[in-house]
Structure 1
Amino acid sequence: MAIRYAFSIFTGTMELRQPKQMKAISCEQPGSFVNRIINVPPLRTGEVQLKIKQIGICGTDLHAYAGNQAFFSYPRILGHEIAAAVSQANGSAISEGEKVVVIPYIHCGTCIACQSGKTNCCETLQVLGVHTDGAMQEFLAVPEGLLIPTPQLTWTEMAMVEPLSVAAHAVKRADVKQGDQVLVMGCGPIGLATMVFSKIAGATVTAMDLNLERLNVANSSFSADHILSPVQEGDTRSQNPVHKSKYQVVFDATGNKQAMESGPFYTCHGGKYVLVGLYKDNLCFHHPSIHAKELSLLCSRNATKEDFLRVIQTLENKQFPTEAYHTHTLNFEEIPNKFNELMMPSNQVIKAMVQLS
């Protein structure tokens, strides 16, 4: 442990000063969380210290814990869906005690992507909780430019902003329009949010999943107009890969290789196929099929500040079913022992939240 020395003007002597410490939970390796006591890092110029209040659990966190997350190394403090309060303003324009959402994407601001406004896919992007330590700790220091004050939202709504922004960004990237037929593959948290933002854009939405319970939830609570099981059409994919479909936009939100490779089958001629889910290895598409359809294959990664601001407004206007989205809550201390429960299909987890005191 590092020990700091301070000079006392009253006694003229050097005094030992222990650094302030905090609780943290580290994913040391796949399948293993460890409780730790670590030093609160000193603030650098331009940084603000945050007291973490609530953290959303993302598919990225689940994949990291399972050992199949791309762009990842261990050990790592997870957590990038963040609701926090400012504990040290450090000369910033944001006041101490102010409620803030964190944009967890640390970008350079100078690369081609950043210069064109695509900070979400910066060439040297560092995502909190993925490439660098995240919010599963009591305090976190971040650049002031990554903070958005959200005085009108609850802590739970604030922790939803990041995943909802990922969905809103995907819908914007696909340029979903009034009257479009949209298919969303995967009824996890990103897929369900993508359905809602597609509906807000004016589309007719079909939800696809192997899980019938998830399909019913998509239909009853997340604006899906129709539901579809891939089993219904599975046999015809190999027989007729250039399938005449009605869906102008198809989103994959599964991250599953087989599902992702089937997407072009469901996309109409001249349509768009958007990969929102992430698979850590190669994907293979039948080129004559996607060529015949003049298919636009798009990837959608993270979100921009504009997406965050739009989502915050959507939540303020009560246009998103937050109660249906938030299904489970853990206390911070419960993570090592109960995190496995979030991965059990029988528990029907959509969005789990971790609460800190």
Structure 2
Amino acid sequence: MKALLCEEPGQLKLVSRSAPVRGEGEVLVRIRYVGICGTDFHIFAGKHPFLEYPRVMGHELSGIVEEAPADSALKAGDPVYIVPYLSCGHCHACNKGLTNACYNIQVLGVHCDGGMAEYVSVPQANVVPTGNIPLEDAAMIEFLAIGAHGIKRGNVTASDRVLITGSGPIGMSAIIFAKARGAHVTVMDTRQDRLRFAVDQLGADAILMADEHAEEEAQHLTEGNGFDVVVDATGNATPMQRGFNFLAHGARYVLLSVVRQDITFSDPDFHKREITLYASRNAQPDDFAEVVRQMEAGKVPTRALNTHRGRLDDAVTLLPEWSKPEAGVIKAILEV
């Protein structure tokens, strides 16, 4: 089968390797679509903290069942999406239902080879029918679930003023699911085009330019109180630390981003305002189900989000181009 291999940072190669053999309790899936994530671009650039090379990337996956266990509800030909978090099922976290934070987690395309290939074989529990959702849209379910999980972690309600910092795809997913809960959503970024998209396509209520006046403007927008929830989706330590400046007393701060370096904050200010700080990692089954519900309800503008398309055969040249800011990529999808 064909597979796209990142041999080392900046080096991609389309290779031929043996197709996987379905293991016991696994489903063999013929991959049809792969969403390209910021994680993939970070792997390509050598910036991901949890990865060793070489690696076949790809964790936003949809396809067709090729072969399933005899006792499975799945059968050959079924359209499916893949939950890419391979949890052990028996560690302390898994026993508490925190499969997204499994002690022994293997994320496809990060800890082990992923789906930028013609076939993958994964545990049956990680393969879910797409229902009424087209396969190309189903390849976007995983990144949307990341945002849904972060909004859930922040306990966002309709009475909250929410600030989402960073309006890349993950930030956009957070906007979608904060709005789905009825919150008032402000988006902060350095890019006017992304801010316009957040308002015009995603229903954001207000915008903030991430400049030297942002804190002052935020006070104006919130009558001097700050935001009830701040969600960071920047992937950059400096704005992650700056995010503490926008929090109201009793606020919640959700870090969707992960970076290699430490981040710091003022402990007296943190205590004075009794802030709650949340890490948000991956997503859980109910987050995927929430994405599907909102897609079926027409609340996810999939056509607007999917700005770029290409073929796996051309990915060696496409990915470096798509990684450039001037390419204007929101969500790129490879067809296999």
TM-score band w.r.t. shorter chain:
over 0.9
- Within 2, Cα distance between the matches of 1:310 and 1:198? 12
CA shift for structure 1 position 275: 0.2
Equivalent residue for 1:189, pick from 169, 174, 177:
169
Where relative contact order (Cα < 8 A, 6+ residues apart) is larger, the structure is 2
- Within 2, Cα distance between the matches of 1:235 and 1:218? 20
The amino acid of 1:69's aligned partner reads H
- Within 1, Cα distance between the matches of 2:275 and 2:194? 28
Tell me the alpha carbon deviations over residues 71-115 of structure 1, each in whole angstroms, 9 at most, x when there is no partner.
Answer: 011000000000110011232320100011111001111122111
Equivalent residue for 1:40, pick from 8, 16, 19:
19
What's 2:127 paired with? 147
What's 2:49 paired with? 70
What's 1:228 paired with? 208
- Within 1, Cα distance between the matches of 2:14 and 2:299? 38
- Within 1, Cα distance between the matches of 2:301 and 2:324? 23
Tell me the alpha carbon deviations over residues 236-272 of structure 1, each in whole angstroms, 9 at most, x when there is no partner.
Answer: 79xxxxx954310000000111100001100111100
The amino acid of 1:323's aligned partner reads R
Q: Does 1:271 align with 2:262?
A: no
Max radius of gyration: which structure? 1
What's 1:17 paired with? none
CA shift for structure 1 position 160: 0.8
SS for the counterpart of 2:131 is coil
Contact 1:43 1:90 (C-alpha < 8 Å) held by counterparts? no
Structure 1: any 5+ residue segments left out of the alignment? Answer: 1-21, 238-242
Tell me the alpha carbon deviations over residues 291-335 of structure 1, each in whole angstroms, 9 at most, x when there is no partner.
Answer: 211111100001011111111121112111111111001111111
Q: Does 1:334 align with 2:297?
A: no
The amino acid of 2:145's aligned partner reads S
What's 2:3 paired with? 24
Tell me the alpha carbon deviations over residues 114-135 of structure 1, each in whole angstroms, 9 at most, x when there is no partner.
Answer: 1111111011111000000000
The amino acid of 2:56's aligned partner reads I
Contact 1:187 1:214 (C-alpha < 8 Å) held by counterparts? yes
- Within 2, Cα distance between the matches of 1:304 and 1:321? 22
- Within 1, Cα distance between the matches of 2:215 and 2:124? 53
Which shows bigger deviation, 76-85 or 283-292? 283-292
Q: Does 1:301 align with 2:285?
A: no
- Within 1, Cα distance between the matches of 2:215 and 2:126? 48
SS for the counterpart of 1:39 is coil
Tell me the alpha carbon deviations over residues 118-161 of structure 1, each in whole angstroms, 9 at most, x when there is no partner.
Answer: 11101111100000000011011011011111131111210010
- Within 1, Cα distance between the matches of 2:234 and 2:103? 25
Tell me the alpha carbon deviations over residues 185-206 of structure 1, each in whole angstroms, 9 at most, x when there is no partner.
Answer: 0000010110111011010000
Q: Does 1:103 align with 2:83?
A: yes
Structure 2: any 5+ residue segments left out of the alignment? Answer: 218-222
Give TM-score scaled by structure 2 length: 0.95
CA shift for structure 1 position 233: 2.7
- Within 2, Cα distance between the matches of 1:129 and 1:147? 16
SS for the counterpart of 1:148 is strand
- Within 2, Cα distance between the matches of 1:172 and 1:316? 19
Equivalent residue for 2:240, pick from 260, 271, 274:
260
What's 2:293 paired with? 313
What's 1:173 paired with? 153
RMSD: 1.5
Give TM-score scaled by structure 1 length: 0.90
What's 2:40 paired with? 61
- Percent of aligned pairs with the same residue? 39
What's 2:220 paired with? none
Which shows bigger deviation, 228-237 or 146-155? 228-237
Aligned length: 330
- Within 1, Cα distance between the matches of 2:200 and 2:214? 25
